[in-house]
Structure 1
């Protein structure tokens, strides 16, 4: 990564962290334990890839930074809610997230359920309650669709039903287009919607990029789950293999998955080629997602 991109990324991560800190309820406000758990789950960890995509896509449409931090925070709140619920014993049953005990381990299962519920509703409260431009209703609908049964939640349902099964590549890609890709796609499109309207062809190009980037993220995640340590990942390594879940490693092998990741990165970059310098940060983020060391 070049130093300019590293500095840009650090600045946007810090801005997102500060915004989340403002938007989340104060730790000492009632109900105190729930608010403490919400802040515990959300603050002080994570790469903030989805907020970074929001800010990068916002550069294409010249979106005001104050709008983008609202959108970035809403997307990240949905992401964190999904992590809190996915880690529960009824789902993936994990004890480590972002290098710390998962929310239900640090607090309890009932609190973790309420944390997820509260983060989800706070995300939509932000999108509905802040001034985000003339396409605000469209933005709310987009995030809702990406989060529900035809998006992230639906992908998780397919994932749970696929344990111990051998999926085709098309079936695996559908599952991850919903579970992981839907929210990543939403982050990109929401960032662009926060600014000036793009031409129809530009919208199609951006959507193509967003879909390729979402799939790329999952393929690399599968690779890292197989090759990186728990300490490096900040979550339990090898969990998918231990749970007998279908992954791109089981389907394509490690070398095949790495080749597929590079192909997806290439396709994502081609989709951005018409934007020129305006897509510089999105291009750099595609490289970061593909080659991230953790």
Structure 2
């Protein structure tokens, strides 16, 4: 089953919302083709396993694998692991987190993109149960040492370095690197304290649009300048003219969440509508609202007048 955040009954959901029952909740970040996920679910049928993966192709392969195996204790989320951690897991709701062979981002200028940084470990502590743990397996020694240092800096974990379990060496990448003769590194980060800063889920807004009085413009010039807002940035990528109005491909980056979505400007029964399109069911977050506000500002600069503002 794929998790669709926009359709969940509560925010964040309970395990019962996702799985229909309670049980130890385990998050796997970056499940790849799902072979480790399937083995984990079969070995621990009482566990409830939530997987997060950014590759759509990998999600599809894993979903097919899980369906063939008839496994009902796994849910897959197509998106970033930190977003799933923040929004799909209740506070102190996680028994374990598994990170197998994360992208090491080896170039220095890219290291800010690494998953296992101090901020992640601090926030993870608010989602792990007492004594809960994160298990890391990697072939990249520099990243491994980096993760150890970042976790140790928080003072929130007991860290134990040990040989990786055999099951963790049966992932797609592990089999590839084993054949190449690479060494493997494994550590268990067990929660011993909790960061005092709350980490509430990303807020979902019921709507993000405005109604304007005036005529639909003949053209809609929108540059690609960044639109900053607290915690992120939005960019108008492309404008297309349709039969009834304009569609604006928009890129929004927020903490733990990146979305490409459509905004639209079109006539409606109550004026010119400017706001988020329902296409692909985007999450209506503060970043989306900031992009809509910027779009409305461009329209008012063209002579339209706001009559209802829901941004």
Could you state the TM-score of these two structures normalised by the residue count of structure 1? 0.27
Q: Which has the higher contact order (CA 8 A, sep 6+)?
A: 1
Higher strand proportion, which one?
Answer: 2
Higher helix proportion, which one?
Answer: 1
Could you state the TM-score of these two structures normalised by the residue count of structure 2? 0.26
